[in-house]
Amino acid sequence: LWSKTDMSNLRLISESSGSSLSSYSVQDVFSSDYDIYQIEITEFQQTATFSGGMRFINSSGSVISSSDYAWARHSLRSYGSFIDDKSTSDSDIQYIVGSTSSSPLSSTGASIWIFNPTNTSFYTYMIFQNTNWLVGNGIAGSKAIAVLKTTASITGFNIYSTGTMGSIKTKHYGLRVDS
């Protein structure tokens, strides 16, 4: 049995938003206060064709763009067969948000869990799931895993696009275990 003092608490750390940009960075959101974080992308719309992904920001404030990311995804689409794809050596984590449609009505949302970002004894791991609405096509949902295969201290994240993000909003939570 458990008591109220054994419960874990998801605590809102901060919120952020942006509009009409191709790069969205949130710095200084991860610290040694928590080992597990949740990032909610509550709004994402693009105004030009989106191609991009997510990268981590190290404690020096630099976006990590080396080929040290690995990811794998399973996507179910209402307008076609499922997709399984992966990369073991990429410069970003793909398919966090976005679509190949340039309609401003196309949108997405995501729930991202990040593990041990500031602990330099471990790699930074991530699991995420998202949904995409593509105008003229339908809805798609994905589940994915990812890892940054270096032991850098990660304090933030960057979502970038080769197109223009019309709007993006994120909420950042830490999972604290109270004893």
Instruction: Give the model confidence (pLDDT) of 141-173 as tens digits.
Output: 889 999 999 999 999 999 988 778 888 999 999
Contacts (Cβ under 8 Å, ≥6 apart) of 162: 22, 49, 50, 51, 52
Instruction: Give the model confidence (pLDDT) of 82-125 as tens digits.
Output: 989 999 999 999 888 765 555 555 667 899 999 999 999 999 99
pLDDT at residue number 96: 84
Tokens of 151: 């032991």
Identify the residue whose tokens are 């990660």: 154
pLDDT at residue number 154: 98
Mean pLDDT of the chain: 87
pLDDT at residue number 37: 97
Q: How confident is the model at residue 41 (pLDDT cuts 50, 70, 90)?
A: very high
pLDDT at residue number 50: 65
pLDDT at 5 over 60: no
pLDDT at 1 over 90: no
The pTM for the full model equals 0.87
pLDDT at residue number 53: 87
pLDDT at 3 over 60: no
Min mean pLDDT across 17-26, 114-123, 128-137, 140-149 is at 128-137
Three-class secondary structure assignment of 51-119: CEEEEEEECCCCECCCCCEEEEEEEEECCCCCEEEEEEEECCEECCCCCCCCCCCCEEEEEEEEECCCC
pLDDT at residue number 98: 61
Contact 155, 148 (CB under 8 A): no
Amino acid in the structure at residue 155 = T
